Chains A and B, each alone.
Chain A
Amino acid sequence: MPDSVRRALAAYRREVSVAVALLALLGLLALRAPAFFRAQNLRDLLVGNAPVLIAAIGMTLVILARQIDISIGSQFAICGVAAGLLAKAGVPMPLVGLGAVLAGGALGAVNGALVAALGLPAIVVTLAMMVLLRECLRWATEGAWVEGLPAAFQWFGLGQAPGRLAIVVIALLTFAAFAWGLGRVAAGRAVYATGSDPEAAWLAGIRPRRVVFTTFVFMGGLVGLAALLTSIQFIDVQTGAGVGLELKVIAAVVVGGTSITGGRGRLVGTLLGVALLGALGPALAFLGTEAHWERALQGLVILLAVTTDTLRSAGPFRHAAS
Chain B
Amino acid sequence: MPLPRLERLRGRLTHEGVLALALAIEIACFAALGSNFVSAGNAVEIVRASGEVGLLSLAQTAVILTGGIDLSMGSLLGLSAVLMGAAWHDLGLPMAVAVLVAPAVGLAGGALNAVLVSRLGLPPLIVTLGTYSLFRGIAEGITAGVRTYTGFPRSFLFIGQGHLPGGVPFQLPLLLVAALSFWLLVHRTPVGRGLRAIGFSPEGARYAGIPVARRLASVYMLSGLMAGVAGAVYAARLGQAKADAGTGFELLAITAVVLGGTSIFGGRGSIHGTLLGLLALALLHNGLRLADLPAELAGIMTGVLLIAAIGANRLLSERSRP
Kindly state the separation between the CA atoms of A251 and B126 in the bound complex, as whole angstroms.
8
Asked if B131 and A303 sit within 8 Å, CB to CB, the answer is yes
Asked if B130 and A306 sit within 8 Å, CB to CB, the answer is yes
Name the contact of A292 in the complex, choosing from B123, B144, B203, B304 (C-beta under 8 A).
Answer: B144
Name the contact of A311 in the complex, choosing from B120, B201, B255 (C-beta under 8 A).
Answer: B120
Name the contact of B134 in the complex, choosing from A68, A135, A303, A311 (C-beta under 8 A).
Answer: A303
Asked if B119 and A316 sit within 8 Å, CB to CB, the answer is yes
B214 at the A interface (CB under 8 A): no
Most chain B beta-carbon neighbours within 10 Å: one of A125, A251, A299: A299
- Given contact pairs A114-B307, A127-B251, A321 touches B299 in the complex (Cβ within 8 A): no
B311 at the A interface (CB under 8 A): yes
Name the contact of B145 in the complex, choosing from A132, A136, A247, A292 (C-beta under 8 A).
Answer: A292
Kindly state the separation between the CA atoms of A122 and B206 in the bound complex, as whole angstroms.
28
A38 at the B interface (CB under 8 A): no
Asked if B126 and A260 sit within 8 Å, CB to CB, the answer is yes
Residue of B nearest to A319 (CB): B123
Interface 9-mer from B11-19, B23-31, B45-53, B258-266: B258-266
Residues of B within 8 A of A125 (CB): 307, 310
B212 at the A interface (CB under 8 A): yes
Asked if B121 and A131 sit within 8 Å, CB to CB, the answer is no
Kindly state the separation between the CA atoms of A121 and B120 in the bound complex, as whole angstroms.
25
Residues of B within 8 A of A14 (CB): none
Asked if B134 and A307 sit within 8 Å, CB to CB, the answer is no
B291 at the A interface (CB under 8 A): no
Asked if A310 and B299 sit within 8 Å, CB to CB, the answer is no
Name the contact of A254 in the complex, choosing from B116, B120, B129 (C-beta under 8 A).
Answer: B129
Asked if B307 and A120 sit within 8 Å, CB to CB, the answer is yes
Asked if A298 and B121 sit within 8 Å, CB to CB, the answer is no
B162 at the A interface (CB under 8 A): no
A261 at the B interface (CB under 8 A): yes
Kindly state the separation between the CA atoms of A124 and B213 in the bound complex, as whole angstroms.
26
Residues of B within 8 A of A322 (CB): 67, 123-125
Per-residue interface assignment for chain A, residues 117 to 147, with 1 indicating a CB less than 8 Å from any chain B CB and 0 otherwise: 0111101110111111111101100000000
Interface 9-mer from B34-42, B89-97, B135-143: B135-143
Q: How far does the Cβ of B144 sit from chain A's closest Cβ, in whole Å? A: 5
Kindly state the separation between the CA atoms of A128 and B298 in the bound complex, as whole angstroms.
12
B270 at the A interface (CB under 8 A): no
B282 at the A interface (CB under 8 A): no
B314 at the A interface (CB under 8 A): yes
A236 at the B interface (CB under 8 A): no
Q: How far does the Cβ of B180 sit from chain A's closest Cβ, in whole Å? A: 27
A39 at the B interface (CB under 8 A): no
Residues of B within 8 A of A311 (CB): 120
- Given contact pairs A135-B299, A311-B120, A317-B212, A306 touches B136 in the complex (Cβ within 8 A): no
Asked if A307 and B122 sit within 8 Å, CB to CB, the answer is yes
Kindly state the separation between the CA atoms of A310 and B115 in the bound complex, as whole angstroms.
13
Per-residue interface assignment for chain A, residues 144 to 178, with 1 indicating a CB less than 8 Å from any chain B CB and 0 otherwise: 00000000000000000000000000000000000
Residue of B nearest to A132 (CB): B303
B202 at the A interface (CB under 8 A): yes
Kindly state the separation between the CA atoms of A134 and B255 in the bound complex, as whole angstroms.
16
A302 at the B interface (CB under 8 A): yes
B181 at the A interface (CB under 8 A): no
Task: List residues of B (253-310) whose CB comes within 8 Å of A's CBs.
Answer: 254-255, 258, 264-266, 294, 296-300, 302-304, 306-307, 310
A296 at the B interface (CB under 8 A): yes
- Given contact pairs A135-B299, A136-B296, A296-B133, A127 touches B123 in the complex (Cβ within 8 A): no
Residue of B nearest to A296 (CB): B137
Residues of A within 8 A of B114 (CB): none
Residues of B within 8 A of A118 (CB): 311, 314
Kindly state the separation between the CA atoms of A119 and B123 in the bound complex, as whole angstroms.
22
Name the contact of A306 in the complex, choosing from B122, B202, B294 (C-beta under 8 A).
Answer: B122
Asked if A251 and B67 sit within 8 Å, CB to CB, the answer is no
Kindly state the separation between the CA atoms of A253 and B303 in the bound complex, as whole angstroms.
26
Residues of B within 8 A of A128 (CB): 255, 302-304, 306-307
Name the contact of B137 in the complex, choosing from A138, A250, A261, A295 (C-beta under 8 A).
Answer: A295
Q: How far does the Cβ of A55 sit from chain B's closest Cβ, in whole Å? A: 16
Asked if A297 and B120 sit within 8 Å, CB to CB, the answer is no
Q: How far does the Cβ of A280 sit from chain B's closest Cβ, in whole Å? A: 11
Residues of B within 8 A of A129 (CB): 303
Asked if B138 and A132 sit within 8 Å, CB to CB, the answer is no
- Given contact pairs A303-B116, A311-B120, A298 touches B133 in the complex (Cβ within 8 A): yes
B132 at the A interface (CB under 8 A): yes
Per-residue interface assignment for chain A, residues 208 to 235, with 1 indicating a CB less than 8 Å from any chain B CB and 0 otherwise: 0000000000000000000000000000
Residues of A within 8 A of B131 (CB): 299, 303
Kindly state the separation between the CA atoms of A130 and B248 in the bound complex, as whole angstroms.
12
A318 at the B interface (CB under 8 A): yes
- Contact surface of B with A, Cβ cutoff 8 Å: 67, 69, 116-127, 129-138, 140-141, 143-145, 198-199, 201-203, 206, 212-213, 216, 251, 254-255, 258, 264-266, 294, 296-300, 302-304, 306-307, 310-311, 314
- A-B residue pairs, 9 tightest by C-beta: A296-B137, A132-B303, A299-B134, A135-B299, A299-B133, A295-B137, A316-B121, A302-B130, A128-B306
9 other A-B residue contacts (CB within 8 Å) besides A317-B203, A320-B216 = A118-B314, A251-B130, A293-B137, A293-B141, A295-B141, A296-B140, A303-B134, A316-B120, A320-B202
User: Can you report 19 A-B residue pairs in the complex whose CB atoms are below 8 A from each other?
Assistant: A118-B311, A131-B300, A131-B303, A132-B302, A136-B296, A247-B133, A254-B129, A260-B125, A292-B140, A292-B144, A295-B136, A296-B136, A296-B137, A299-B135, A299-B137, A302-B130, A306-B122, A320-B202, A321-B202
- Contact surface of A with B, Cβ cutoff 8 Å: 68, 114, 118-121, 123-125, 127-136, 138-139, 247, 250-251, 254, 260-261, 290, 292-300, 302-303, 306-307, 310-311, 314-322
